[in-house]
Amino acid sequence: MNEYQKVMARRSQIMKAAIDVDYDAYEIQNIGFDYEKMMADAGYDLDAVRKIQWENGVGGTPLKELKNITALARKFAKPGYGARIFIKDEALNDSGSFKARRAALSCHHAKKMGFKGVITATSGNYGAAVASQAAKQGLKCIVVQECYDSKGIGQPEIIEKARACEAYGAEVIQLSVGPELFYTFLKLLEESGYFNASLYTPYAIQGIETLGVEIVEDALRVAGKLPKAVIVTNAGGGNLTGTARGIRKTTDKKIEIIAASVNLAGLHMASDVDFNRKSFTTGHTGFGMPFMTNPDRSDVPRSAARPLRYMDRYVTVNQGEVFFATEMLAALEGIERGPAGNTSLAAAFSLAREYPADEIIVVQETEYTGAGKHHQAQLDFAKKMGIEVRFGNPEEEIPGKSIVLPDSAGKIQARDYDLDRARKSLIRRATEGVGALTAKDLVFLAEEVNRDAEYVKAVLKELGKEWEER
């Protein structure tokens, strides 16, 4: 057995030692686990989380009405339609994104438990967030990035995030695309004894719950009513999970939770060839789809991000539409923010037309921009990689080959993904290799796909699976 195989064989022990969560305590025969108990045992209530975040430059971000963008959306809606669009400006957190919320709690917990440092594996804003919060707590920080293809070409967005991490005092380890990322991450966890500031621990999800709370509170204060819908940029699912949980803890009124991802269909996220043929490192279907149907594919034994439990609808938008929305936000509202966070804005511009004009919808987050994160830098890089960039009909865009900016704002279109397809896929994956399912298994699966037991039984019947009634 070579060194790689030895390290991977120890992955469970390494991760458990670095997270301070006894995942075995929550397992339920055959396939289930007690998700709510795991979340509760993390030991932080909402008041405690808000206090920790407030003391560390996180939270309390403004909810801003996008009056000019709303007015433009109404030009393409039928009379009496075009909901007011609001945006939660999370770029104003220290480190510049909503991920500061999850990093604040993770780093606080690491310090509380006596860890000397934290490690995270991410090419996104989370690395900067962890580095920033680690600096506040006096912790060492290592950020492992998947940055380059085999030719040594790095994406400008990822390189910019490395600069931010280093500015906060973190050590950044940059790798080429492929399986060495997780292997290196595990080795560093084991050798350093640092805390795994994963995106998928209960602490990371609880950190985002405050965002859901604030959306409800801010909407009531600023607009005098609850949002009809909250649109959430979706990748690994933690953003949506935490926001939805916070909303549910704050109001019993129904608020539609809509996930939005950039359509990168046909591009393989672990492909050396495809790595630099995409213009988004997060918020895209390459993460959104697999993590939705198989959430435990993460860097912890059981992920606290379970998006399908909370999602009412899933829409996709194209790369060109997101870049257009990014320019639109700057030109019409005087707010310059990063493209990845504007995935949900592009979707909201389309979705607003479905709701009456007296309703409000909330774009759940923004992110900082600058240098390689700027949309012009990303478009320039795409051209260098041989991607065609042009104006026209976004429906003609082919991920990895073209980026089509809409030649009219009216052509921005959120496209629905069939959530039943995702639910059936999750049930199929969860029950592979398992014999007769127990009544507890049925309850767990129903919770996982946000449907009742009869729905689960119907899917199991299609799959030829057997189950016990009690």
Predicted confidence (pLDDT) per residue in 23-49, tens digit: 999 999 889 999 999 999 998 999 999
Looking at residues 229-255, what average pLDDT do you find? 97
Looking at residues 8-34, what average pLDDT do you find? 88
Round to the nearest angstrom and report the end-to-end CA distance of the chain: 44
Helix (H) or strand (E) holding 6: helix 3-9
According to the model, what pLDDT value does residue 299 have? 85
Is the sign of the CA dihedral 354, 356, 362, 366 positive or negative?
A: positive
Looking at residues 372-400, what average pLDDT do you find? 95
Q: Phi then psi for 121, rounded to 5 degrees?
A: -110, 105
Cα distance between residue 142 and residue 57, in whole Å: 21
**Residue-averaged pLDDT of the chain:** 94
Q: Is the pLDDT of residue 232 over 90?
A: yes
Torsion-angle region of residue 300: left (phi > 0), alpha (psi -120 to 50) or beta? beta
Cα distance between residue 76 and residue 357, in whole Å: 12
Helix (H, G, I), strand (E, B), or coil: what is residue 240? helix
Residue 387 corresponds to which amino acid? Answer: I
Ordered by start, the domain boundaries in the chain are 3-11+97-200, 47-94+203-416, 420-463
Looking at residues 326-353, what average pLDDT do you find? 96
According to the model, what pLDDT value does residue 176 have? 85
Looking at residues 386-410, what average pLDDT do you find? 97
Q: Is the pLDDT of residue 178 over 90?
A: no
Which CATH architecture is the domain 47-94+203-416 placed in?
3-Layer(aba) Sandwich (3.40)
According to the model, what pLDDT value does residue 404 have? 98
**Dihedral over alpha carbons 258, 291, 403, 394 (to 10 degrees):** -40
Length of the chain: 470
Residue bearing tokens 């320019």: 327
Helix (H, G, I), strand (E, B), or coil: what is residue 453? helix
Residue of 35 and 21 predicted with greater confidence? 35
Identify whether the C-beta of residue 387 lies closer than 8 Å to the C-beta of residue 375: no
Looking at residues 268-279, what average pLDDT do you find? 86
* Spatial CA neighbour of 59 closest among 199, 206, 226, 257: 206
Q: Is the pTM of this model over 0.85?
A: yes
- What's the pLDDT tens digit per position in 200-218? 999 999 999 999 999 999 9
Q: Is CATH 3.60.21.10 correct for 3-11+97-200?
A: no
According to the model, what pLDDT value does residue 63 have? 98
* Spatial CA neighbour of 186 closest among 144, 235, 126: 144
**Dihedral over alpha carbons 159, 364, 89, 298 (to 10 degrees):** -30
Looking at residues 222-250, what average pLDDT do you find? 97
Say whether 47-94+203-416 and 3-11+97-200 share the same fold. yes
Cα distance between residue 238 and residue 252, in whole Å: 21
Looking at residues 213-240, what average pLDDT do you find? 97
- What's the pLDDT tens digit per position in 411-445? 999 999 999 999 999 999 999 988 889 999 999 99
Looking at residues 1-23, what average pLDDT do you find? 83
Q: Which residues of 51-76 are buried (b: 16+ CB within 10 A; e: fewer)?
A: ebbeebbbbebebbebeebbebbbeb
**Dihedral over alpha carbons 183, 189, 195, 200 (to 10 degrees):** 10
Q: Residue 453's beta-bridge partner residues?
A: none
How confident is residue 16, by pLDDT bands cut at 50, 70 and 90?
Answer: confident
Using alpha carbons only, how large is the chain's radius of gyration in Å?
A: 21
Q: How many CB atoms are located within 10 Å of the residue 94 CB? A: 19
Cα 247-131-61 angle, rounded to 5 deg? 35
- What's the pLDDT tens digit per position in 118-148? 999 988 899 999 999 999 999 999 999 988 8
Identify whether the C-beta of residue 91 lies closer than 8 Å to the C-beta of residue 368: yes
According to the model, what pLDDT value does residue 2 have? 65
According to the model, what pLDDT value does residue 1 have? 54
Task: Dig out the tokens for 172 from the structure.
Answer: 């950044």
Cα distance between residue 106 and residue 195, in whole Å: 9
